[in-house]
C-alpha cells in the first residue's frame, strides 16, 4: 500500500509539475517572437512593437519577417516624383527601421540584439489597413517564429487573450498583459473603412504593432493599433491581415507553406499600393473619432528641424 501511495503521489506531482510548466513555454515563446521597432525619422523618433515570423527562402536560408503597425514607421516614409514612359509616377521610399530584441537570462535583461530591417510592404493608417511588413536584413537573426491563427472560424467573444509588446517603448520591452476578446467587427468609418476587433488587453504607448494571442495555444489573432483607454483597445484582426495578403499576393508572409518569392521578385514588388501624398485636411467627424480613440499606441519624440529637441 505504501508503494502504491508513493506511486500515486509521484504521478500527482508529475502532473502538477507539467501543468505548471505549460504556462512558462507560452510566455517564453511570446517573449521570443516579440521585438521593439524603432523608427528614427528626420523630424521625429518613434518606438512601437513587432512580431517575428521566421521562414525559409528558396535557398534554405532563415528569413525573419516582422509585422508591425503602419503608423509605427510612417515617419520613415518619403515620396519622390518621377516620369515613367512619359507619365508622372510617385515612388515611395522608406528609411530602414531598427528591430531590437531583448535577451533575458535568469530573470534579468542581459543584452539586446539590434538589426536594420527593410520595409517590404506598407499600408497607411487612415485609408489602408495600418500594416507594415519588414524583413530583417541579416539572415538567421533568430529562429523563433509566431504562429498565425488562419482558420475561417473567428475566435469567440470571451476567449482569453495575451498581449506582448513594448509598453512605454524599449524600457518596457516584452511586457505581457491579458484580457478577453470583447467584440468583433467594430466599424468606425471616420477612423478607417475597415473593421477592427476589440479587446480588454491592457495597452500603453509603445504597444502599437504588438501581437494579441489566444491564451490557450499562443496563436496570433490580431495586432494592437489603437485605443480609447487601458481596457478598451482595437486590433487589426488576423482575418483582415489575411485579406490584405491575399489581395496583394503575399500570403507567404503569414503561411510558411507558401513559397517565398526571390529577391528579384521582392525588389519588383511595390511597397505601397496607390501611393499618394499625405493630406493634412481633417473633417469634424475625424476629429471627433480621434478624441474617442485618441491613442495610436506608440511612443513618439519630436525632433527640432535644426537638431534641437
**Per-residue pLDDT band at 89 (split at 50, 70, 90):** confident
Express each pLDDT in 114-136 by its tens digit. 999 999 999 998 889 999 999 99
Q: Cα separation of 15 and 3, whole Å?
A: 18
Residue 94 phi/psi, 5-degree rounding, is -130, 140
Q: Cα separation of 61 and 66, whole Å?
A: 16
Q: Cα separation of 261 and 149, whole Å?
A: 22
Spacing of C-alpha 143 from chain mean position: 17
Express each pLDDT in 153-206 by its tens digit. 999 999 999 999 999 988 889 999 999 999 999 887 777 788 999 999 999 999
Q: What is the pLDDT of residue 87?
A: 77
Express each pLDDT in 218-244 by its tens digit. 999 999 998 877 788 999 999 999 999
pTM of the model: 0.82
Q: Helix, strand, or coil here: 126?
A: coil
Asked whether the beta carbons of 176 and 27 are under 8 A apart, the reply is yes
Q: Helix, strand, or coil here: 54?
A: strand
Q: Cα separation of 88 and 277, whole Å?
A: 13
DSSP H/E element including 224: strand 220-229
pLDDT at 298 over 90: no
Q: What is the pLDDT of residue 12?
A: 42
**Per-residue pLDDT band at 18 (split at 50, 70, 90):** very low
Q: What is the pLDDT of residue 6?
A: 46
Express each pLDDT in 205-218 by its tens digit. 999 999 999 999 99
Residue 213 phi/psi, 5-degree rounding, is -130, 150
Which grid cell sits at 226?
489603437
pLDDT at 30 over 50: yes
**Per-residue pLDDT band at 19 (split at 50, 70, 90):** very low
Question: Which whole number is the average pLDDT over 4-32?
Answer: 54
Q: Cα separation of 88 and 68, whole Å?
A: 31
Amino acid at each position: 500500500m505504501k508503494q502504491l501511495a508513493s506511486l500515486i503521489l509521484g504521478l500527482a506531482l508529475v502532473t502538477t509539475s507539467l501543468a505548471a510548466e505549460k504556462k512558462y513555454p507560452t510566455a517564453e515563446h511570446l517573449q521570443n517572437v516579440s521585438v521593439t521597432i524603432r523608427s528614427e525619422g528626420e523630424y521625429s523618433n518613434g518606438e512601437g512593437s513587432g512580431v517575428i515570423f521566421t521562414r525559409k527562402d528558396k535557398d534554405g536560408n532563415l528569413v525573419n519577417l516582422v509585422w508591425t503597425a503602419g503608423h509605427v514607421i510612417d515617419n520613415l516614409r518619403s515620396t519622390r516624383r518621377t516620369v515613367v514612359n512619359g507619365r508622372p509616377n510617385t515612388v515611395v521610399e522608406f528609411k530602414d527601421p531598427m528591430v531590437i530584441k531583448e535577451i533575458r537570462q535568469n530573470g534579468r535583461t542581459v543584452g539586446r540584439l539590434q538589426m536594420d530591417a527593410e520595409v517590404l510592404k506598407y499600408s497607411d493608417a487612415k485609408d489602408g489597413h495600418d500594416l507594415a511588413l519588414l524583413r530583417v536584413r541579416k539572415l538567421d537573426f533568430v529562429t523563433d517564429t509566431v504562429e498565425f491563427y488562419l482558420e475561417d472560424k473567428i475566435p469567440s467573444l470571451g476567449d482569453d487573450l495575451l498581449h506582448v509588446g513594448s509598453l512605454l517603448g524599449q524600457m518596457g520591452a516584452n511586457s505581457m498583459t491579458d484580457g478577453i476578446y470583447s467584440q468583433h467587427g467594430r466599424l468606425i468609418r471616420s477612423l478607417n473603412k475597415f473593421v477592427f476587433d476589440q479587446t480588454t488587453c491592457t495597452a500603453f504607448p509603445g504597444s502599437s504593432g504588438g501581437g494579441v494571442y489566444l491564451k490557450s495555444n499562443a496563436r496570433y489573432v490580431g495586432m494592437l493599433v489603437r485605443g480609447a483607454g487601458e481596457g478598451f483597445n482595437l486590433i487589426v484582426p488576423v482575418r483582415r491581415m489575411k485579406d490584405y495578403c491575399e489581395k496583394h499576393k503575399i500570403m507567404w508572409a503569414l503561411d510558411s507553406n507558401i513559397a517565398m518569392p526571390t529577391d528579384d521578385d521582392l525588389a519588383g514588388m511595390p511597397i505601397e499600393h496607390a501611393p499618394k501624398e499625405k493630406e493634412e485636411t481633417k473633417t469634424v467627424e475625424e476629429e471627433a473619432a480621434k478624441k474617442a480613440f485618441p491613442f495610436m499606441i506608440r511612443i513618439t519624440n519630436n525632433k527640432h528641424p535644426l537638431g534641437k529637441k
